Amino acid sequence: MIKKTLGCLLTTLLPLFVLNSAHAAGTTAGTVIPNTTTLSYSIAGVAAPPITSAPATVTVDEVIDLTLTWQDGAPVNVNSPDSNDPLRFQLVNTGNGNETFTLSRNNNPTTGDQYNPLSSSTPIYLESNGTPGLQTGVGGDTPFGGSLTLSPDGSATIYLLSDTPTGLPNGSRGDVQLTAASATPGASGAAFGTVLNGQGDGGVDAVVGVALGQAQATGSYLVSGLSVVVAKSVVSPSNPDALVPGALITYRVQVTLSGTGTADNLVISDPLPVQVSYQPSSATLSGNLACNPCTDSSDADPVAFSANTLTATLGTVAAPASFTLDFLATLN
Amino acid sequence: MTTQKTLITVCTLALLAFIHPVAHAANAVELKSVAEVEVEVVNSKGKKELKRQPVEKAVPGTEVIYTTTFKNLIAKPVGNIAITNPVPNNTTYKAGSATGANTDITFSIDGGKAFAAPDKLKLKDKDGKERSALPAEYTHIRWTYKGELPAGKSGEVSFRTVIK
């Protein structure tokens, strides 16, 4: 690819150059490199004062180059609907001058995804407060203001914030593409090796590097739709409206996790109304964490009863999963 | 656009070349250093060939050819000619690139204090082990002219560097 591009370059009478990969930026743009040589000699065996040449001077042009990469590593899980979920990107100025870049996002970059994420009200943030991850508000990261300037080898962490439409099925993927482009006039999209006269730092020429003045990276969201539904019902008697005091009621709490993802620290609490009294040691739990009967104390089994509240501590639960908690109470 | 600009640069330098020699007329030897790059051009037969052209501006990674010419301007021969050239700042000497007819070429790795042939330039590693110096570690190049340079005659030495 590069070889082919070089072919074009050569015929345009540009000096041969290979971009230095060890130190991305190379010698800073505008650096003056003088070469002076000294000659000593003698005439008839008598040393004459040495001569120094006028300097042959080369000034380092600015190479405009950049890399942009999506940093999350895997699609970012979102719900449907959802809002302000960040995708994280890193922009690196791999050129040798201070360069200003503009950023833009495309919410519909590919046809391989299932939905188009929506730009949040503040669609782009720059990491600025030194705390990893996106923080918004006072003391948080900075909403992107239209351009950013990076020194040679300088980098920026960029967050794209998206909202997720409602009603999307689990497993739907939505892609967003970020484009970072050099703000130097004529650089973005120009051919490799294009010389922009006087557009570099301090008035040196700017030369378009391998990125061709702009870079794209695409990140993805995945509707994981982890939902935890809790439903409580009376199993018996069948006609609870006709209960008399002292009647035994069987309650059922049904917990269902659907979609994809993992619920952390899942705890089901059921504070009982004052009209009923829990029948000690009546709880049973079926499903992934079963106990029958369950004890009412806080111990190895997940169920505990105290302060008139029945709790089931389920911990980390991956979807899909379901639990059924049954217990008895008497009507006061 | 690019072609035009390069041609203008060539013309300007060509003009300078005519004017410049006067500057060192007071010395017995005229000394000049020029910086050039090689570009591949397509000749009239449609074949690619390397052509040198002066360079004033270049990006990192560019290979720059420095050529020093020296000429005896007096009526007597001059002797003991030694040309010393520091490897320019922000550049790396290109291995094996120093040339000069009728000269002995030596290098320095200590800022121009001592000069020796490449196989005699040794450095000590952190653990005290001796190793040969790398061309990229050369700081100076010296050409020692063999014998005398007759009246009116000239010589030329050259080396290449890569801009870091």
pLDDT of residue A8: 32
Inside any domain, residue A212: yes
Q: What is the mean pLDDT of chain B?
A: 86
Show residues of chain A in contact with B6, CB under 8 Å.
Answer: 13-14
pLDDT of residue A9: 33
pLDDT of residue B20: 44
pLDDT of residue A11: 34
pLDDT of residue B25: 43
A67 and A212, same domain (yes or no): yes
pLDDT of residue A321: 84
Q: What are the boundaries of each domain within chain B?
A: 2-163
B interface test, pick of A32, A41, A43 with most B CB neighbours within 10 Å: A41
The CATH superfamily label for domain B2-163 reads Mu homology domain, subdomain B (2.60.40.1170)
Show residues of chain B in contact with A37, CB under 8 Å.
Answer: 31, 33, 66, 68, 83-85
pLDDT of residue A15: 46
Inside any domain, residue A3: no
pLDDT of residue A332: 86
A137 and A170, same domain (yes or no): yes
Does B8 score more than 60 pLDDT?
A: no
Contacts of B32 (CB under 8 A, 6+ apart): A53, A54, B20, B21, B24, B68, B69, B70
pLDDT of residue A24: 60
- Which of A223, A246, A270 corresponds to the end of one domain? A223
Strand intervals (E) in B55-139: 57-58, 63-72, 78-86, 91-93, 99-100, 103-108, 122-124, 130-132
A182 and A320, same domain (yes or no): no
CA distance to B107, B141, B142, per residue, from B113 (Å): 10, 11, 11
**pTM for the complete prediction?**
0.69
pLDDT of residue B21: 43
Inside any domain, residue A100: yes
Q: How many CB pairs under 8 A join A and B?
A: 170
Residue B14: pLDDT band by 50, 70, 90 thresholds? very low
A14–B163 CB contact, under 8 Å? no
| Partner-chain residue, chosen from B24, B55, B81, that has the shortest CB–CB distance to A41 | B81
Residues of chain A with pLDDT under 70: 1-24, 240, 259-260
Location of structure tokens 């030194």: A130
- Which of A223, A250, A279 corresponds to the end of one domain? A223
Contact A329, A235 (CB under 8 A): no
A240 and A98, same domain (yes or no): no
Per the structure, the complete domain to which residue A218 belongs is given by 63-223
Q: What is the CA radius of gyration of chain B?
A: 19
Q: In CATH, what number is assigned to the domain containing residue A119? A: 2.60.40.10
Inside any domain, residue A16: no
A269 and A303, same domain (yes or no): yes
Show residues of chain A in contact with B76, CB under 8 Å.
Answer: 43-44
CB atoms within 10 A of CB B149: 20
Q: Are strands A309-318 and A262-271 parallel, antiparallel or unpaired?
A: antiparallel
A214 and A258, same domain (yes or no): no
A112 and A205, same domain (yes or no): yes
ipTM: 0.81
Encoded tokens for A132:
């990893």
Looking at the 3D structure of chain A, how many domains does it have? 2
A182 and A107, same domain (yes or no): yes
Encoded tokens for A84:
């302000």
Length of chain A: 332
- Which of A169, A200, A223 corresponds to the end of one domain? A223
pLDDT of residue B26: 65
A250 and A141, same domain (yes or no): no
Instruction: Please give the helix or strand (H or E) that residue B8 lies within, else none.
Output: helix B2-19
A37–B60 CB contact, under 8 Å? no
Q: In CATH, what number is assigned to the domain containing residue A311? A: 2.60.40.740
Inside any domain, residue A26: no
Q: How confident is the model over B102-122, as pLDDT tens digits?
A: 999 999 999 999 999 999 999
DSSP string, A241-295: GG--TT-EEEEEEEEEEESSSEEEEEEEEEEPPTTEEE-TT--EEEESS-BSSPP
Does B64 score more than 50 pLDDT?
A: yes
Per cent of chain B over pLDDT 70 is: 84
The Cα angle at residue A38 between residues A34 and A40, in degrees rounded to 5? 180
The residue-averaged pLDDT of B45-53 equals 91
Contact A160, A177 (CB under 8 A): no
A250 and A219, same domain (yes or no): no
